[in-house]
Amino acid sequence: MKDDTEERLSRAFAALSDPVRRDIVTRLTVGDATVNDLAAPYDISLQAVSKHLKVLEEAGLVSRRREAQRRPVHLEADALATMTGWIERHQRRAEERMARLEEVLADLPSPHPGTTSTGADR
């Protein structure tokens, strides 16, 4: 069974698989916004934008609070930091693996006498 962090990551990455939701997150990096503000550039209903927000909220990427008559949507930066950390860990591992492969390839004997073995020769 997946642990809680893995489950949150799965929900967050799934939520960001939709271009409208990615755009909403991008726009929220500038500051909080209402559903009406967020819906303005799209040719979709307020209800559709609200559904997108619900997916983002369930994934922990956004939250909503009440301010008098307004309910601004807020980007949860900690969720993005968790995702970024996951990506960076795996990127580092892949880069380390490639560096080890390059070292092994550099140590291989040259296929032709009198030449040197470099990554460019491959």
DSSP for 13-41?
HHHTTSHHHHHHHHHHTT--B-HHHHHTT
Task: Note down pLDDT in tens along the chain; length 122 residues.
Answer: 458 889 999 999 999 999 999 999 999 999 999 999 999 999 999 999 999 999 999 999 999 988 778 889 999 999 999 999 999 999 999 999 999 998 888 888 877 766 555 555 54
> pTM of the entire structure?
0.74
Q: Which residues contact 89 (CB under 8 A, 6 or more apart)?
A: none
Question: What pLDDT, on the 0 to 100 scale, is given for residue 120?
Answer: 54
